Structure 1
Amino acid sequence: MVSSLSSNFALTTDSNGRLTVTGLSGSGIDTQKAVEALVAAKRVPIDRLETKIETTDTQIAALKEYQTLMRDFRTAVDGLRGKVTFDKSGDAFDAKNVYLQTSRVDGKTASTATNLVGITATNNAEVGARSVEILRVATQAKVGTGVANSATVDLGTAFGGAAGSISGSFDIVNGDGAATTITVAGTDTLQSLRDKINNANTGSAKTGVTASIVSVTTGQNYLVLTNDATGKAIELDNETGGVLSGLGISSDGGSTFSNVLQEPQTARLAVDGLKDPSRYESLRFANASASVKSLVSTAPDSGSFTLSTGLGTVAINFNSTTDSLNDIAARINADAGAIGVEATIMDDGGGKRLVLRDTNGGKLGVIDNDGLMASLGVDNDLVVERSSNTISDLFTGMTLNLFQAEEGTKINLQVERNLNAVKDQVYDFLDAYNAMRRFYNEQNLTGADGSKSEDAGPLFGNSALKDMNTMLRDTVNGDVAGLGIDFSALSAIGITIAPTATLTDPLDRETLVIDESKFDEVLLNKPDDVRNLFSFRFSSDNPDVTLVNFGANTSYKNGGYNLEVTVAGGVITSAKLDGQDVEVNGTTLTVTSGSAAGLKLYYRPGDDGTTTSQLNITSGIASQMYFAADKALTAKTGTIEAQLGVFESRNSAAELQIDRMELRLDLYKDRITAKFLRMEEALSRMESIMEALKAQIDAQSSNSDS
């Protein structure tokens, strides 16, 4: 029998979950530790692979950091490369500023320009001077109800009638002609009617009319209807139950309004000194029935003025002490109607204007014999009208927001290049380039003996990083082909490589520095030269040829390119660039090979036949660097993406190998554990036998002694 049990036994579970008891023999061997030691020895290759994976993960993280820096760099040079867009928004060199100034010629003080108008300019705005005079701002139509004694009781009671006496319906017609019916119940109040009207002004078929309540006092309330759009009337129709009349809005079903609070008016402007040869108008006056002398104290007492058209000439006499604008208009129509002159009094939103025009559309002549026309401010400035105070179709690339009219005040708009936008973009380029260069320097730090420094990054000596850095360095150090020698390199505008002798930080090696004063001087005085240095530039001697796009391989050619386009029946039938066929798609020409590959042009067909055009191209530094960065960042095939693919494939292969080795290691562990178990079992049996033999011997010895 077994006389004792080892106290060193252990319970273990194998990879299949089987429970094993070890240490049952008296051998003194720690089976579990022995197995762990053997497995650890076998695991050394796996540990090495895991260390390699960790190293590669560090390289991947560093390369992704560089990838982010390069994306930032690509963005920075994108605004300098001469990108072609419809609105020119992608090119910093096309950014514009607008400067405003007001002036008058009558000695009065002009309001500040920003009190009269707000201007926003896109890159499409054209450099130069413009002028506007705001004669009238656009206004919204406003009509009101009669007075209601309460906003919370039923409408019949509120408007002084029997309870529930106002009911029926009416339509609000929007600007598209769509009608929305407003049903008025006998129990409706001023508040609930307001809410019904406003609820109808939602969704895809808005009425375009907003209702609000004005409470002057507790017993004096009005419902006000306002057209959301300026310059357009409110249109009501299809009244039933006499509700519009009961509310005091209209007595004729909406054809006219009983309580007009504000007439809809268009905005009126005089622009750039343009003239209308067939039409004259006066300033705006408060009253067309009062004597001219009472309106303008400086008007001559009497005299004449002469009107002429292609049909003849007529002199009009006046007496300003007795004649009103209405009288003068009537006299013109009576005396000059025969030569096609018509005079009217225009209601101009709280004022009246005398308007003269040639009904035949010819040139109307006005000779101011005694100064009456001048005193009335009569001129033939071309008047532009718009329904809104936000005007974006007057000047290319500019939006005007009219705030206030001030007749006689000229607002001068000076559109200039926004050179600060260019400067900011150039500094963004410098910062982005230097960030990449510092990253490269950090990865490749060396000691005094030229060997790898312990502070070097995980991408030390990486070929992809080195190739990219070399390409960018060569570009910033090189010249732009096709430019004059004075402005073909960055040094011409004050951008140079940081001098090695002055460096205090090794990470700044070969970064770019800028002489700001030199750069500012060149940018201010020679902006086109700065643009040529950075951007892709295209020109043609044929105005029918327009640049649409360009590519990485579109490059300069000494002497330029010759484009031959053949048109037949108004259609482009063929095109050649320097004798090589160009792809034709309607009016778009695309060069697919050669040194101009990637060039895309719009060609406006003219007369039938073959036309030859001269094209000149240069590719600036920003253009070259953009395409280099873009190529490196291209998915799968780009330099950085390809290197990341190598790293990631390496890790995937190592992880797969580790999985296989771990599986074999588990089998090995199970196998040697089983061997140790069998050994312990054999030793345990031997111990049992020896104990039994010892017991027999001891028994026999005891019997012999007795």
Structure 2
Amino acid sequence: MTTSIAYSLGIGSGIDTQALIKGLSDAVRAPKEALIAQREERNAAQISALAEASGAIDSFATALSTLIAGGTLFSQPNVSDTNVLTATALPGSRLGDFSAQIEVVQLAQAQTLESISLASASEPVGQGDLTLVTSRGSFTVTIDATNDSLDGLAKAINDQNAGVTATVITQANGARLMLKGATGEAAAFTLGVPAGTATGLERFAYDPNVAGGMTRAQVAQDAIVNLDGVQVKRSSNLINDLIAGVELNLKKAVPGTTIAIGITRPTASIELAVNDFVAAYNELHSMLSEFTAAGVNGAGGPLRGDLGIRELQRQLSKLPSTVLNSQGDGPSTLAEIGVKTNRDGTLSVDGARLSEMLASDPEGVEALFNPGQYSSSPFVQITSKMGKVKPGTYTLTELVAAAGGTDATGKIDGMSMISSGESLIAPVGSAAIGLVVKLSGSVSSATITIDPGLGGALQSIRDALKASSGPFAASKERLNGEAEQIAEDREALERRSQAYHDQLVSQFTAMERQVSAFKATQSYLEQQIKMWSGDND
């Protein structure tokens, strides 16, 4: 209706009323629309810049973590003959300088037994009790009508969880039972039946001092190595308590042959990593500085004053002085190895200082980059993977090692740990969730220390900033709220502008009608005057 009325505007007055209404409407609307457009543009720029900053800190942290995870910044043990043994650094360990000569005299192996062949795995073996004696204790294996078969006997033995694994091996000539214990001399086991048993079950007994029964295919024995001339025995071919931070994997016994073992330092890789880190840091710093620049007359960076970005800048500026290594007397911060903060907030590397530290304390410099986990006791070994536990110091108390079939027990920071054989696991609710330790001796307490390294410290900054309740989330919520408000303000402007336009149309329509009425009156009067004038003539 408004449109049809508008088309008739100007007919009475002769004025271009439509153009006048548009001009008046635009004059009122334009400055308000310009302000909204400015707000929209700035809001979009802020959202884009926040996303770019978020992606940049992600890329920075991920790149550093990937570099560290690749192992190129870790010192690694080296051996002269990997066919005899291999050596690897334990997760979280920081290796000191060492060199040694190792002779592998004997490999550890497990005791294995094999039975006579039966026609099939389902053939009865005889009913009664077998007594299985292992390093974990004595266990009774019962065979009755429900499990009287070779398969049933194997399952009954495995169900004891006695440290012996039973397997049925089927071949063309029948089925046999094979038993295998753990490696090491102490893991030898016997399987006995009551004297006088003649049910057939005696065929599966074993005692090295008694004839008959199962045949021993392999004897249980310890690994024997000579470390720099000192003989050492271990129950496993994986040995991690001879050289601090190093796990040896014995592969072949070669009596009379010594293998050299030493350490390779990644000095060049660390020097390159320090310079690459500083370059990446400065690139990120430059971006954030541009985003937060004050500017003149409102022409500053899109994120000037944003609390999330300010917190990111504050946390990043603390990195050179953040304690990354709490162990020993070596450097604990990047600043100590030559990473300096300049007046403009960028970083630079004192090459001479870095070279000096790499020469005098390569282990300490390496420790700044790589995460580490340490136990104060040699009898408490950390077996959880690096990065699974939040950095910090944790106290273990009331420790009791596993013995006689009883699991290890203990507490961490006053909370009972979850027991699993020789291992203890930090419970849900503990700050150390993810920590797993193994007790290998008599110890009542210990302290566990988890150092983050530079990669972990940067990840912690990133994770805290991007947490669901963190500064970045608050900034994003604020900007999204502003975007919604701008959209609402634009809709309100549309409504007000349309209402004002309609008001003008109504007013000018009324005016046109009035003008038309005046013109009609004028025309009538003019006609009357002409008539009067004619009559007078």
Q: Fold-level match, TM-score > 0.5? A: yes
User: What is the DSSP-based 3-state SS (H/G/I as helix, E as strand, rest coil) of the residue aligned with 1:23?
Assistant: coil
1:82-121 alignment runs, 5 A limit: 89-94=69-74
Query: Which residue pairs with 2:316 in the alignment?
Result: 472
Shift of 1:495: 1.0
* 2:371 paired with 1:523: no
* 2:511 paired with 1:676: no
1:430 to 278, 283, 289: 278
Kindly tell me: are residues 584 and 470 of structure 1, through their superposed partners in 2, closer, same or farther at Cα, counting changes over 3 Å? Answer: farther
Shift of 1:485: 5.7
Query: Which residue pairs with 2:180 in the alignment?
Result: none
Query: Which residue pairs with 1:693 in the alignment?
Result: 525
How many pairs does the alignment contain?
Answer: 374
Shift of 1:19: 6.5
Query: Which residue pairs with 1:338 in the alignment?
Result: none
2:64 to 72, 77, 88: 77
- Residue 482 of structure 1 aligns with an amino acid whose one-letter code is S
* 2:425 paired with 1:581: no
Kindly tell me: are residues 611 and 525 of structure 1, through their superposed partners in 2, closer, same or farther at Cα, counting changes over 3 Å? Answer: same
**In structure 2, distance between residues paired with 1:681 and 1:614:** 96
Which is richer in helix?
Answer: 2
Q: Single out whichever of 597-606 and 642-651 deviates more from structure 2.
A: 597-606
User: What is the DSSP-based 3-state SS (H/G/I as helix, E as strand, rest coil) of the residue aligned with 1:637?
Assistant: coil
User: What is the DSSP-based 3-state SS (H/G/I as helix, E as strand, rest coil) of the residue aligned with 1:432?
Assistant: helix
Aligned-residue sequence identity (percent) comes to 20
1:200-219 alignment runs, 5 A limit: none
Kindly tell me: are residues 577 and 46 of structure 1, through their superposed partners in 2, closer, same or farther at Cα, counting changes over 3 Å? Answer: same
Deviations 1:350-375 (A, max 9, x none): xxxxxxxxxxx9xxxxxxxxxxxxxx
**In structure 2, distance between residues paired with 1:124 and 1:580:** 27
**In structure 1, distance between residues paired with 2:420 and 2:11:** 90
> What is the CA RMSD across the aligned residues, in angstroms?
4.5
Shift of 1:680: 0.9
1:156-195 alignment runs, 5 A limit: none
2:481 to 625, 630, 649: 649
Shift of 1:58: 1.6
Query: Which residue pairs with 2:237 in the alignment?
Result: none
* 2:443 paired with 1:618: no
**In structure 2, distance between residues paired with 1:685 and 1:128:** 115
Shift of 1:530: 1.2
User: What is the DSSP-based 3-state SS (H/G/I as helix, E as strand, rest coil) of the residue aligned with 1:696?
Assistant: helix
- Residue 63 of structure 1 aligns with an amino acid whose one-letter code is L
Deviations 1:577-609 (A, max 9, x none): 243334567856126567xx24523334668x9
Note if contact 1:25-1:683 (Cα within 8 Å) is conserved in structure 2: yes
**In structure 1, distance between residues paired with 2:502 and 2:404:** 88
1:191-590 alignment runs, 5 A limit: 416-445=264-293, 456-480=300-324, 482-484=326-328, 486-498=330-342, 500=343, 509-540=344-375, 541=377, 542=379, 544-550=381-387, 553-556=390-393, 561-566=395-400, 567=402, 570=405, 572=407, 574-582=409-417, 587=423, 589-590=425-426
* 2:36 paired with 1:56: no
**In structure 1, distance between residues paired with 2:433 and 2:439:** 18
User: What is the DSSP-based 3-state SS (H/G/I as helix, E as strand, rest coil) of the residue aligned with 2:12?
Assistant: coil
Kindly tell me: are residues 486 and 575 of structure 1, through their superposed partners in 2, closer, same or farther at Cα, counting changes over 3 Å? Answer: closer
User: What is the DSSP-based 3-state SS (H/G/I as helix, E as strand, rest coil) of the residue aligned with 1:487?
Assistant: coil
**In structure 1, distance between residues paired with 2:359 and 2:48:** 43
Deviations 1:6-38 (A, max 9, x none): xxxxxx974xx8863221123636343234314
Kindly tell me: are residues 80 and 487 of structure 1, through their superposed partners in 2, closer, same or farther at Cα, counting changes over 3 Å? Answer: farther
**In structure 2, distance between residues paired with 1:38 and 1:453:** 29
**In structure 2, distance between residues paired with 1:99 and 1:462:** 55
Which is richer in strand?
Answer: 1
User: What is the DSSP-based 3-state SS (H/G/I as helix, E as strand, rest coil) of the residue aligned with 2:435?
Assistant: strand
Shift of 1:643: 0.8
Shift of 1:418: 3.9
Note if contact 2:9-2:509 (Cα within 8 Å) is conserved in structure 1: yes
Query: Which residue pairs with 1:26 in the alignment?
Result: 13
- Residue 480 of structure 2 aligns with an amino acid whose one-letter code is E
User: What is the DSSP-based 3-state SS (H/G/I as helix, E as strand, rest coil) of the residue aligned with 1:28?
Assistant: coil
- Residue 435 of structure 2 aligns with an amino acid whose one-letter code is L
Unaligned runs of 5+ in 1: 1-11, 82-88, 102-120, 131-360, 362-394, 397-411, 501-508
User: What is the DSSP-based 3-state SS (H/G/I as helix, E as strand, rest coil) of the residue aligned with 1:661?
Assistant: helix
**In structure 1, distance between residues paired with 2:261 and 2:404:** 45
1:112-131 alignment runs, 5 A limit: none
Kindly tell me: are residues 475 and 43 of structure 1, through their superposed partners in 2, closer, same or farther at Cα, counting changes over 3 Å? Answer: same
**In structure 2, distance between residues paired with 1:453 and 1:97:** 61
Q: Single out whichever of 643-652 and 541-550 deviates more from structure 2.
A: 541-550
Kindly tell me: are residues 122 and 442 of structure 1, through their superposed partners in 2, closer, same or farther at Cα, counting changes over 3 Å? Answer: farther
User: What is the DSSP-based 3-state SS (H/G/I as helix, E as strand, rest coil) of the residue aligned with 1:41?
Assistant: helix
* 2:461 paired with 1:632: no
Kindly tell me: are residues 74 and 580 of structure 1, through their superposed partners in 2, closer, same or farther at Cα, counting changes over 3 Å? Answer: same
Kindly tell me: are residues 92 and 645 of structure 1, through their superposed partners in 2, closer, same or farther at Cα, counting changes over 3 Å? Answer: farther
**In structure 2, distance between residues paired with 1:703 and 1:643:** 89
Task: Give the 4+ runs in structure 1 shifted more than 6 A.
Answer: 95-101, 121-130, 412-415
**In structure 1, distance between residues paired with 2:492 and 2:314:** 41
Kindly tell me: are residues 545 and 69 of structure 1, through their superposed partners in 2, closer, same or farther at Cα, counting changes over 3 Å? Answer: closer
* 2:23 paired with 1:36: yes
User: What is the DSSP-based 3-state SS (H/G/I as helix, E as strand, rest coil) of the residue aligned with 2:372?
Assistant: strand
Kindly tell me: are residues 605 and 97 of structure 1, through their superposed partners in 2, closer, same or farther at Cα, counting changes over 3 Å? Answer: closer
User: What is the DSSP-based 3-state SS (H/G/I as helix, E as strand, rest coil) of the residue aligned with 2:515?
Assistant: helix
Kindly tell me: are residues 46 and 128 of structure 1, through their superposed partners in 2, closer, same or farther at Cα, counting changes over 3 Å? Answer: farther
Shift of 1:628: 0.9
**In structure 1, distance between residues paired with 2:270 and 2:2:** 72
- Residue 623 of structure 1 aligns with an amino acid whose one-letter code is G
Note if contact 1:550-1:599 (Cα within 8 Å) is conserved in structure 2: no
* 2:492 paired with 1:660: yes
Deviations 1:60-103 (A, max 9, x none): 2222222222112212432477xxxxxxx4444237699999xx
**In structure 1, distance between residues paired with 2:278 and 2:433:** 28
Note if contact 1:77-1:623 (Cα within 8 Å) is conserved in structure 2: no
Kindly tell me: are residues 526 and 466 of structure 1, through their superposed partners in 2, closer, same or farther at Cα, counting changes over 3 Å? Answer: same
**In structure 1, distance between residues paired with 2:72 and 2:520:** 95
Deviations 1:374-400 (A, max 9, x none): xxxxxxxxxxxxxxxxxxxxx98xxxx
Under a length normalisation based on structure 1, what TM-score does the superposition of the two structures give?
Answer: 0.45
**In structure 2, distance between residues paired with 1:444 and 1:589:** 46
Note if contact 2:357-2:365 (Cα within 8 Å) is conserved in structure 1: yes
Shift of 1:443: 3.8
User: What is the DSSP-based 3-state SS (H/G/I as helix, E as strand, rest coil) of the residue aligned with 1:668?
Assistant: helix
**In structure 2, distance between residues paired with 1:543 and 1:638:** 36
Shift of 1:655: 0.5
Note if contact 1:93-1:422 (Cα within 8 Å) is conserved in structure 2: yes
Shift of 1:122: 10
Note if contact 2:2-2:502 (Cα within 8 Å) is conserved in structure 1: no
Kindly tell me: are residues 687 and 552 of structure 1, through their superposed partners in 2, closer, same or farther at Cα, counting changes over 3 Å? Answer: farther
User: What is the DSSP-based 3-state SS (H/G/I as helix, E as strand, rest coil) of the residue aligned with 1:459?
Assistant: coil
Note if contact 2:265-2:362 (Cα within 8 Å) is conserved in structure 1: no
- Residue 701 of structure 1 aligns with an amino acid whose one-letter code is S
Shift of 1:436: 2.3
Kindly tell me: are residues 28 and 616 of structure 1, through their superposed partners in 2, closer, same or farther at Cα, counting changes over 3 Å? Answer: closer
Deviations 1:257-307 (A, max 9, x none): xxxxxxxxxxxxxxxxxxxxxxxxxxxxxxxxxxxxxxxxxxxxxxxxxxx
**In structure 2, distance between residues paired with 1:123 and 1:640:** 38
Note if contact 1:550-1:600 (Cα within 8 Å) is conserved in structure 2: no
Shift of 1:658: 1.6
Unaligned runs of 5+ in 2: 82-86, 102-218, 220-247, 250-259
**In structure 1, distance between residues paired with 2:326 and 2:75:** 25
Shift of 1:687: 0.9
Shift of 1:516: 2.6
User: What is the DSSP-based 3-state SS (H/G/I as helix, E as strand, rest coil) of the residue aligned with 2:396?
Assistant: strand
Shift of 1:43: 5.6
